[in-house]
Amino acid sequence: MLNSQPNAEARRLDALHKLNLLDTPSSEAFDRITRMAASLFKLPIAAISLSDANRQWFKSRVGVEHDSIPRLRAPCGQIADSSDVLVIPDLAQDDYYRDSLLAAQGIRYYAGAPLTTNDGHCLGAMCVLGTEPRDTAPEELSALCDLAGMVMAQIELQHALGRVDAVSGLPNRHQYIEDFHDLQLDAGDNEQRLAVLLNLATPDQLNHAARAMKSTYLDELVTEGARWLREEIGRGQRIYHVATAQFMLLSPPGRTLAEWLPKVEARMQRAQIIARTHHVATPSAGVVPFEVHHDDALSVLRKARSAAFDAMARPSHVAVYSHEEDALYQRRFNLLNDFSAALTSRDQLRLVFQPRICVATGACLGAEALLRWNHPTLGAVSPGEFIPIVERSGLAQATTAWVLDAALRQQQTWRQAGMALQVSVNVSAANLSEDGFADSVHACLARHHLPPDCLELEITESAIMEEPLKAHATLADIAALGVGLAIDDFGTGYSSLSYLQKMPADVVKIDQSFIRDLEHGARQQALVKAMITLSQDLGHRVVAEGVESEAVLAFLRDAGCDEAQGYLFAAPMEAPAFAAYLRW
């Protein structure tokens, strides 16, 4: 009864495996058809049976506990070979099937209709079975064929319309979500599973490749990644193509993290070798333990992606989902979204001011304007938390514009009260690459009727390094306005000495990491003294940040430092308190 054409059988099996149906969770879309068949024939057993090489696997079943039987002497296997309808009124009276497994289990009646693809491959059968012999009416057989057609329509629909990725040939994100829902319907109570997401390359690598490589590069990367995964994982495990260069798989029940993690790490080692050899790519993998009935499909996918991105910084390029890391990332994301509203709010953002003191005389020469945020539900958010997030986002330019306007508005108020001093405002890397930034600074000064020398902009070396040529052109335009420029956090950048020569800066601010505990370190004192001398020899005034003790101030005075800033003199103050500080 076996197919006499091995090549035809190989093609049939290939067509079956490409559909990615075998060993997938039960699906309500198919179960409805199976229940309809059992009801129509008034029989206890019905199944959608797929004929694999050596087994009959049931995509859907009614009245059957097991999910597969051997293909040998299985009537559905005969249908796969012949692509014809098969009816066996009584297996016990059939010369071939009386010794079959089904007959031994008490099955007497069988009727099956072929499940045939549009290109003629028979995948298996829509079948009904009974424990008593019976005849089959022509209208019953016609209905069974209609049900088989409904099964194939569902299969073709899932495969052709938005369920399979055209490049990888793997089930896509939509199919993953549907299968996850079916898994929840079929899973036992408190069932634990693992999800693994493979990221083929970092976002930067994909962006650079899109700009530098031919248009087929990404398709080749995805195709090879999918092929490698199929070979590594095997046909018994379903793999989903959930994003451009991301693949997802779920563990079988009973697998533990301790068991699976070493296997993932070993496979990632092989993936790294292949990626370095064939592609400019760095794969990473995120592993997420989850409870089937507690987590939803998109939550598991999001957590797996979070772990995969964390894995990019790990030596093994594998990371297990961390609730703490994820919560921190979500907080940052939410803060960034909320900050956009804060920029247009009247009561969330404000400036505080910290005085800059002349080391020789103790007089206040200026103030640094510092941004503070009072979140409507979280309260005061530390600038150390929100400023780095904002500076790396698209809100950086708008934030500088807000701070600049607020600082100059306060400057105008003070000047009208007879207090003339320079105010410093921090500038981000985004501002230095912004077209027309110098013009916007000039316009803000004009709007508040203030002279350019009332303002100083503080720039870090790292900000300049992002786009050096553009940054230097912008700084030259600002210096031409007469606005002061300061190198902030001096000593922490890439090449401090070279930038001292190139930047049109008036002031160098030595980072507080060099000033803190200065009185206790001879090597640190020598370094700070050298910084002061070198900067002044190149024509810059020097400001020491983070001064908190009289001993440090005494050292800076002896070393010839020009200005100091820190808690020894005053913490950052609200504008009225700063005005009172000046009058005192």
Helix residue ranges per DSSP H, 312-348:
323-344
Of all residues in the chain, what percent carry a pLDDT higher than 70?
95
pLDDT band at residue 4, thresholds of 50, 70 and 90? very low
Residue 159's pLDDT is what? 67
Tell me the average pLDDT across 508-517. Answer: 89
pLDDT band at residue 376, thresholds of 50, 70 and 90? very high
- C-alpha 342/C-alpha 376 separation (Å) is 9
Residue 6's pLDDT is what? 62
pLDDT in tens, 132-179: 999 999 999 999 999 999 999 888 776 655 677 878 888 888 889 888
pLDDT surpassing 60 at residue 494: no
pLDDT surpassing 60 at residue 3: no
pLDDT band at residue 30, thresholds of 50, 70 and 90? very high
pLDDT band at residue 83, thresholds of 50, 70 and 90? very high
- C-alpha 348/C-alpha 335 separation (Å) is 13
pLDDT in tens, 377-420: 999 999 999 999 998 888 999 999 999 999 999 999 999 998 88
Q: Are 34 and 47 in contact (CB under 8 A)?
A: yes
| Ordered domains of the chain (ranges, CATH) | 6-161 (3.30.450.40), 173-321 (3.30.70.270), 332-582 (3.20.20.450)
pLDDT surpassing 60 at residue 2: no
pLDDT surpassing 50 at residue 472: yes
Query: In whole angstroms, how far apart are CA 476 and each of 52, 159, 503, 548, 558?
Result: 73, 60, 8, 34, 33
pTM: 0.64
- C-alpha 390/C-alpha 335 separation (Å) is 9
Alpha-carbon Rg for the chain in angstroms: 36
Residue 275's pLDDT is what? 75
* Average pLDDT score over the chain: 89
pLDDT band at residue 451, thresholds of 50, 70 and 90? very high
- State residue 181 phi and psi, 5-degree precision: -65, -45
Q: State CA 208 to chain mean position distance.
A: 18
Tell me the average pLDDT across 311-324. Answer: 90
Of all residues in the chain, what percent carry a pLDDT higher than 90?
58
Tell me the average pLDDT across 188-201. Answer: 89
How many CB atoms are closer than 10 A to CB 429? 20
pLDDT band at residue 74, thresholds of 50, 70 and 90? very high
Identify the residue with better confidence: 219 or 358.
358
How many CB atoms are closer than 10 A to CB 204? 10
How would you label 328-355 residue by residue, b for 16+ Cβ within 10 Å and e otherwise?
eeeebeebbebbeebeeeeebbebbbbb
Please calculate the CA angle 37-42-43 and round it to the nearest 5 degrees: 80
pLDDT surpassing 50 at residue 561: yes
Pairing of β 86-88 and β 109-116: antiparallel
pLDDT surpassing 70 at residue 5: no
DSSP code for 67: S
Best CA proximity match to 194, nearest among 322, 314, 320: 320
Q: Among 70-74, 265-269, 463-467, 549-553, name the one with the lowest average pLDDT.
A: 463-467
Tell me the average pLDDT across 278-304. Answer: 89
Residue 449's pLDDT is what? 95
DSSP code for 188: P
